[in-house]
Structure 1
Amino acid sequence: MPKIVLIEDEIQLAENTKIILEINGFNCFVANRGQEGIDLIASINPNLVICDINLDEIDGYEILRQIRSNPLFLNLPFVFLTARADFVDKRRGMNAGADDFLTKPFNAKVLIETIQARLAMSSQKKESVGIEIKKNAIDVFYHVSNHEYLTPLNGIINLSEIALDMVRNKQTSDIESLLEGIYSSGNRMLRTTRKLLWYNQLSNSVNPWKNVLGANSQINAIKFLHEIVDSVTKSSLKIFDINIKSNVTYLYGYDENLIQIMFTELIQNIVNFADHNRKVYINARFENDFLVLIIRNHYLDNYTITTEDIKPFYQAHNPKDMNGTGLGLYIVKEWIELISGGFEVKGENQLFDVIIKIPVSL
């Protein structure tokens, strides 16, 4: 049922309009004051807003300005309801981003037709945006796949060719470094392939935890984390100073492989993109039956990122042109949300925080 916010200070008109909307299959939420309407829109995320222009304290134009300043409501259908709809008012409203006007008094038929038309246009717009997003994702995936597969594949082929020549010529004294390079390139391809498989799982609504819920397992979370840090940083050419502080001991009922994947992706993110000349802080603690893990580090470049930015293949869109698929943090975020946990990312002025919350016991 479509949700509509009606902002109208004439109480009787608001009540009558609410009845008309609900009879016609809409779920109507009413606010009689401007700020109340702004708060209501933010809390329920409606499909459409009907707003009177002449309100006390905050008028309709200011409400529209504040709503349009929020990226979440940039395309929210917004219809002005007013007793005066001359050319000047309409121009001002349209310049502010209004979609339509209804002039008081109005009849029920016009009201419903206007709403239906605006909802239909909004649906078409979302569909067009969805098609464009899919097209961009395909383009980005092609770019990422080429880089993330061809680079290590070239390494494997070229290093293998050199190693074969050395073996044929019985010059094997320095072959160990070549084999390490081949092994490293193969692991990079394996990580990329696994991420794409996990992403495909999520895209098809497959819950990776479904077979382990209630399992009788016990994981020493911090010992596990130390081992992953040692393993990931050992394979890196950079030297990291990672300080782990914790009062956490065990997690219960989890699949060890999934926890390893999540922790590894978080640490790998640091190794790939953080400034290795700055210390990395990892704090883990118990909080209301949750493990709270806070990772703080400094990125090499200065840009802003929020939790909302963590989307499939986002990394490839980054203007700093970092390597990677951009799927690592997205997969961790989605997996955590599937077990009613919390995931938050904050990045600004080179300081980057990742905060996760997962239940101590599944």
Structure 2
Amino acid sequence: MKKILVIDDDRDIREQVVTVLQYEGFQTMSADNGRSGVKLAKKHLPDLIICDVTMPEVSGYRVLADIRSNPMTENVPFIFLTGMVSPEDMRRGMRLGADDYLTKPFNVEELLAAIQTRFERHEASQKQIETLRKNLSGMLPHELRTPLTSLLGFAQYLTTYAKDLAKDPVEIEEVGKALYDSAIRLNRLVENYLLHADLILMEQTPEKQEYWRQSSIPILTKAIVPMMARRTLERFGRENDLHLELCEATLYMVEEHLAKILDLLLDNACKFSEDGAPILLASRIEQRRWCLSITDFGRGMTDEQIALVGAYMQFDREVHEQQGAGLGLAIVQKLLDFYLGDLKIESIPNQNTIVTISLPVGEAQ
């Protein structure tokens, strides 16, 4: 039996909601103020919380912040009860982690529909997280171990031969670079893992997706894309391999998200092609969409491998070293979803791979 906590200082509303929930077969508990509500939540760990926004002493926002800051309750679905809600209030709630708003006055059908939706999305999210954990259990330990082993090995080397190295600045520089490269690799792995996990959770909250879209800014692609692309290729020492055939377009999105999409796609293009092989970026406008194709002339992928693209999946690992956790395309797809974008992969094994993304444009020139 699902447990639902109702927090509202209005006795009539609180008792009406509790009565409806009990009639529908839910186990309930209630509190007439925010402080008592937080205590009940931590003690009984409800499956869902319904909370009024405006209450004396401890507001609904403070209750939500306390709930999200506790590891035992941080993932509990949370529905706000409120009067007329302004966009600013909704954004504040979304930033704190609210799942939904129910505007007073509401009827029984609206209340039950909101609860059912929250439970369905929470269960779907938990299933996705479990799938993620299963994929991680086989892949992530190796991926973490590789850069960590390098870091530990070079650190031990410095400790053991510190006196000898003091006389050889060139050797110190080489070891320092190796340590730096391993640390960067580990940092990128952790950042991508956390981003992917966060995107999975955000998929279950359309309000949060809309918040990101509303936070977007206009981006002129012909100016910003080359800078972003060169930044990635410089990491591989392959700036001279970059070839650009770009048109102008205006996108509306968070700049860091576009940078992440390009970085991950170009990172794969560099890994799966040889130094000196060209990497082509070409863009065009089709039906009010900006289409960017990234072509590398490397080992390519089979149709079966393309069909299996997903988080933490890698191919031919026994033949080819693959740094990173195979997260690139999965993160790209989820970021594109936020902006109503698309992803297409075409490849001929041992010849080339063309990855094309498309995004809605504002004003194309």
TM-score scaled by structure 1? 0.55
Q: Partners in 2 of 1:149 and 1:235 — Cα distance?
A: 20
Shift of 1:134: 6.2
Shift of 1:217: 2.6
Map of 1:289 onto structure 2: 288
Alignment of 1:200-219 (within 5 A): 200-206=197-203, 209-215=209-215, 217-219=217-219
Q: The residue matched to 1:259 in structure 2 has which SS?
A: helix
Q: Partners in 1 of 2:331 and 2:130 — Cα distance?
A: 18
Aligned length: 229
1:238–1:282 Cα change, 3 Å = closer
Shift of 1:272: 1.2
Q: The residue matched to 1:314 in structure 2 has which SS?
A: coil
Q: Partners in 1 of 2:199 and 2:269 — Cα distance?
A: 24
The answer to whether 1:265 aligns with 2:264 is yes
Counterpart amino acid of 2:167?
Q
Alignment of 1:2-151 (within 5 A): 138=133, 140-151=135-146
Q: Partners in 2 of 1:216 and 1:304 — Cα distance?
A: 35
The answer to whether 1:159 aligns with 2:158 is no
Map of 1:192 onto structure 2: 189
Asked whether the 8 Å contact 2:300–2:348 carries over to 1, the reply is no
Q: Partners in 1 of 2:143 and 2:180 — Cα distance?
A: 15
Map of 2:227 onto structure 1: 227
Asked whether the 8 Å contact 1:294–1:353 carries over to 2, the reply is yes
1:182–1:340 Cα change, 3 Å = same
Q: Partners in 1 of 2:302 and 2:140 — Cα distance?
A: 25
The answer to whether 1:355 aligns with 2:350 is no
Q: State the Cα RMSD in Å.
A: 3.2
Map of 1:88 onto structure 2: none
Shift of 1:198: 1.9
Map of 1:245 onto structure 2: 245
Q: Partners in 2 of 1:260 and 1:302 — Cα distance?
A: 24
Q: Partners in 2 of 1:296 and 1:186 — Cα distance?
A: 29
Asked whether the 8 Å contact 2:213–2:339 carries over to 1, the reply is no
Runs of 4+ in 1 over 6 A off after TM superposition: none
1:237–1:215 Cα change, 3 Å = closer
Q: The residue matched to 1:315 in structure 2 has which SS?
A: coil
Shift of 1:283: 0.3
Shift of 1:164: 4.5
Q: Among 154, 169, 172, which residue is 1:173 paired with? A: 169
Counterpart amino acid of 1:290?
R
Structure 1 unaligned residues grouped into runs of 5+: 1-130
Shift of 1:264: 0.4
Asked whether the 8 Å contact 1:289–1:360 carries over to 2, the reply is yes
Q: The residue matched to 1:190 in structure 2 has which SS?
A: helix
Asked whether the 8 Å contact 2:249–2:362 carries over to 1, the reply is no
1:59-79 alpha-carbon deviations (Å, 9 max, x no partner): xxxxxxxxxxxxxxxxxxxxx
Asked whether the 8 Å contact 2:289–2:360 carries over to 1, the reply is yes
Map of 2:275 onto structure 1: 276
- Identity, in percent, stands at 17
1:157–1:148 Cα change, 3 Å = same
Map of 1:47 onto structure 2: none
Which one has a bigger Cα radius of gyration? 1
Shift of 1:307: 5.4
Q: The residue matched to 2:302 in structure 1 has which SS?
A: coil
1:258–1:355 Cα change, 3 Å = same
Asked whether the 8 Å contact 1:291–1:359 carries over to 2, the reply is yes
Q: Partners in 1 of 2:280 and 2:187 — Cα distance?
A: 28
Asked whether the 8 Å contact 1:274–1:297 carries over to 2, the reply is yes
1:172–1:275 Cα change, 3 Å = closer
Shift of 1:235: 2.2
Q: Partners in 2 of 1:250 and 1:341 — Cα distance?
A: 14
Q: The residue matched to 1:325 in structure 2 has which SS?
A: coil
Counterpart amino acid of 1:354?
V
Q: Partners in 2 of 1:162 and 1:361 — Cα distance?
A: 55
1:322–1:339 Cα change, 3 Å = same
Q: Partners in 2 of 1:351 and 1:199 — Cα distance?
A: 27
Counterpart amino acid of 1:270?
A
Asked whether the 8 Å contact 2:230–2:242 carries over to 1, the reply is no
Counterpart amino acid of 1:173?
P
Q: Partners in 2 of 1:237 and 1:148 — Cα distance?
A: 23
Q: Which moved more, 1:331-340 or 1:276-285?
A: 276-285
1:138–1:209 Cα change, 3 Å = closer
